Structure 1
Amino acid sequence: MTDPYPVPGDDAQLVVFDFDHTLYDGDSGSHLFAWLLKRNPLRLLAALLATPLLGPLVALLPTRRHGISGYVWIATFGLHGARQFNTVIDRYVRTHEAEIRTRLLPRALDVFAAHRRAGDKVVVATGAPPELARAILAFVAHQDVSVIGSAVGPRFGAMGATRHCHNEEKMRMLRERGYGDIAIAYSDSTADLPLLKAAKAPVVVNPKHARVEFFRKVLPAGTPILNWGCVDRGGEPA
């Protein structure tokens, strides 16, 4: 049994965590949608046939949300409504618990829990569906943390991303939920530069090796660039 975390006060500092490659080793949304595709050979075939078009869109930041939306549509064809989609997410998490637990990064969770014990206001802001991050965090007694993620809704017989919690849009979604001055932000991704630059104390964790020098150039001198256990990623061992 874990001790209850204190309720953050009105003056508590705001700490924002990305989820994928920050708390979780990998891309949780991709793992979910890959499972959905593999369950149905026709969906898998459609995704393979669409990859010459969708793959390059995903690879480029300005068009990434369009490419991801295409894969989401193929993977969720036949689902109708957020409630049904969330039920599928919960089933996926429940049936893959052992594998998912191995992907939760112990060092990251230690830092996450330390902020909560200190009474900080902790928020997870992720490009993944929020129900997915919530369900995974529930494994480690963090189900009550506020999660902001990509909105998904019905689209032409399937589900599609109606709002991608990504880049500048992530900042807009945080502000809309009443989260203002950011004390500390943790993320692996250059897509989160608006978040990292907005934080008084940015922390880069588990960046791609090729992006380490870029982060050093664009973020304040002395910004920590750490590795919290992603063996194929860069950063100094914590």
Structure 2
Amino acid sequence: MNDAAQYPPPGEGAPLVVFDFDHTLYDGDSGSHLFAWLIRRNPLRMLAALLATPVLGPMVAFLPTRRWGISGYVWIGSFGLHAAREFDRVIDRYVATHRERIAARLLPVALDVFARHRVRGDRVVVATGAPPELARAILAFVAHEDVPVIGTAVGPRWGAVVATRHCHNQEKVRMLRERGYIDIEAAYSDSSADLPLLQAARRPVVVNPKPGRVEMFRRVLPAGTPILNWGCHDRGGDPVS
């Protein structure tokens, strides 16, 4: 199914289904791919990123400081941009000029599950740590551009744009609830950072987890929670054809 008009609008009381984006619908970290492209376009940005990595890299790896580490790379990659709308235009240009490469990273099994929920009339929303315009532009490849996307907010600061509110961990659940997405029937995510989201759902589904996280998910989520692999070859989970 490739025409968004064919999906019925969700009815009153339809189940709410939340999908993460990176490593769930998309094979990889879409935001990292975007900012790597932005940084590589300019030798000075590349030099700045290399010099900053000994500080920013560990910050990204450590959950309490992840927002600040990511914001540092965002600032380096977006230096010279002065408004969120300007940043969105750069995102659209990146997606348009890398269409085939990006489309190849969309996971067919994931898209099939995504479409099946929409065919059933479920309320489907994407909640991602990536900029929302990036996820929307990529979902447009497969006629899902009308699906609501909640993502990391960005704004101008110090001559660039930075993450002003990171859609991540417990903050992701808060951002969903602020927009009226409260009673979650099912949630799909790869990340231990999304445990608050998975635990808020009646039916959590772990997809494409890091192999070292599989046992943790089995320990902290309800017995029988599916832990699946939707096509990320370097990730864990039970294979799905």
- Tell me the TM-score normalised to structure 1 length: 0.99
Cα distance per residue 1:69-106 (max 9 Å; x no partner): 00000000000101100000000000000000110000
Secondary structure of the structure 2 residue equivalent to 1:162: strand
- Structure 1: 5+ residue runs without aligned partners? none
The CA distance in 2 between the partners of 1:208 and 1:227, in whole Å, is 10
Partner of 1:142: 144
Partner of 1:166: 168
Partner of 2:220: 218
Shift of 1:196: 0.1
The CA distance in 2 between the partners of 1:19 and 1:100, in whole Å, is 13
1:41 aligns to 2:47 (yes or no) = no
Shift of 1:127: 0.1
The CA distance in 1 between the partners of 2:98 and 2:82, in whole Å, is 23
Cα distance per residue 1:125-162 (max 9 Å; x no partner): 00000000000000000000000000000011000000
1:72 aligns to 2:83 (yes or no) = no
Partner of 1:196: 198
The CA distance in 2 between the partners of 1:224 and 1:134, in whole Å, is 27
1:124 aligns to 2:126 (yes or no) = yes
The CA distance in 2 between the partners of 1:4 and 1:145, in whole Å, is 13
The structure 2 residue matched to 1:96, chosen from 88, 95, 98, is 98
Shift of 1:10: 1.5
1:5 aligns to 2:4 (yes or no) = no
The structure 2 residue matched to 1:28, chosen from 22, 27, 30, is 30
The CA distance in 1 between the partners of 2:45 and 2:39, in whole Å, is 5
Shift of 1:4: 1.4
Shift of 1:235: 0.2
- Structure 2: 5+ residue runs without aligned partners? none
The CA distance in 1 between the partners of 2:6 and 2:162, in whole Å, is 37
Shift of 1:36: 0.2
Shift of 1:119: 0.2
Secondary structure of the structure 2 residue equivalent to 1:103: coil
The structure 2 residue matched to 1:231, chosen from 227, 230, 233, is 233
Matched to 2:38, the amino acid is L
Cα distance per residue 1:191-226 (max 9 Å; x no partner): 000000000000000000000000000000000000
Partner of 1:114: 116
* RMSD of aligned residue pairs (Cα, Å): 0.6
Matched to 2:16, the amino acid is L
Matched to 2:17, the amino acid is V
Secondary structure of the structure 1 residue equivalent to 2:6: coil
Secondary structure of the structure 2 residue equivalent to 1:80: coil
Secondary structure of the structure 1 residue equivalent to 2:91: helix
Matched to 2:128, the amino acid is T
The CA distance in 2 between the partners of 1:134 and 1:202, in whole Å, is 23
The CA distance in 2 between the partners of 1:54 and 1:180, in whole Å, is 34
Matched to 1:58, the amino acid is V
Matched to 1:6, the amino acid is P
Residues paired across the two proteins, number: 238
